[in-house]
Amino acid sequence: YPMIVRDFNSVVGEELLSQSNELFNAMPDAIVACVGGGSNAMGIFYPFININETRLIGVEAGGKGVETGEHAAPLNDGSPGVLHGALSYLMQDDSGQVKATKSVSAGLDYPGVGPEHSWLKDSGRAEYVAVSDDEALKAFHEVSEFEGIIPALETAHAFAYLDTLMNDFDSNSNVVVNVSGRGDKDINTVAEIDGIKSIDGTEAEGWLISVGGTPKEMMSRSPEFTYCLLYTSDAADDTPCVDLGG
């Protein structure tokens, strides 16, 4: 099963190999991807395993902080164990029982990880770090506002690590983030965390979040807000969008 998942997902990594040569005539200096079970990361890492000039960096869910034990980061704070038929790093107690996990991201809220990631960690070929819920949420907002892309909360963990990672690079470096998912599925989660009581096109707590209507219609309903995340099925260009205003 891990091989099937890796091989199917490696289409993304193969595309990156080709696009890197085409766009900047070199291999990436680093590839960053979120890691829960690790399928998206394994797919983009795999074609680069023997390309040592490219750093491979997996970002786990640090939850409330790795030091608190309330996280989902077995590669950072786990030990070898068996789960779902595979020997890999696992969050477990002294008796080998699986421990509870904690993450704002449902897709990363998992106590184990694919066995090939464990091999990459032990061999030193890949690096694995963790970022907290708060750091991921901050990245979610920043990428939405500044780039016009609503990332999945899983992907937001990878973006969050850039604040630290870019200290190792300069403006001439090529760092690739695997945008593994879209964040419209997480809008309700983020709204609840931010204290928004209503998601019906009305203004709340300085935000306007809509699940219907065109950007123009939504902007006209509430002209004063910090910024507006719009995921609509009937937007002017028939595509999901982020509209920034106020």
Name, in order, each residue with C-beta under 8 angstroms of 240's C-beta and a sequence gap of 6 or more.
150, 182, 184, 230, 231, 232
Q: Identify the pLDDT of residue 2.
A: 84
What pLDDT does 165 receive? 97
Q: Find the mean pLDDT for residues 97-117.
A: 96
Above 50 in pLDDT, residue 99? yes
Give the model's pLDDT for residue 1: 80
CA distances from 59 to 37, 44, 168, 202 (A): 11, 13, 16, 35
- Better-predicted residue by pLDDT, 181 or 242: 181
User: Distance between CA 188 and CA 210 in Å, rounded?
Assistant: 11
Q: What is the pLDDT of residues 13-68, one digit of tens each?
A: 999 999 999 999 999 999 999 999 999 999 999 999 999 999 999 999 999 999 99
Query: CA torsion 177→181→183→186, rounded to 10°?
Result: -120
Predicted local confidence at residue 220, as pLDDT: 52
Place 9 in a pLDDT band, splitting at 50, 70 and 90: very high
Q: What are the φ/ψ torsions at residue 80 (nearest 5 degrees)?
A: -60, 135
Contact between residue 140 and residue 153 where contact means Cβ atoms under 8 Å apart: yes
Predicted TM-score (pTM) of this structure: 0.81
- Identify the band that residue 217 occupies on the pLDDT scale cut at 50, 70 and 90: low
pLDDT digits (tens, 9 = 90+) for 125-149: 999 999 999 999 999 999 999 999 9
What are 155-207's pLDDT values in tens digits? Answer: 999 999 999 999 999 999 999 999 999 998 998 899 889 887 654 545 444 44
- Percentage of the chain modeled with pLDDT above 70: 80
pLDDT, average across residues 62-75: 96
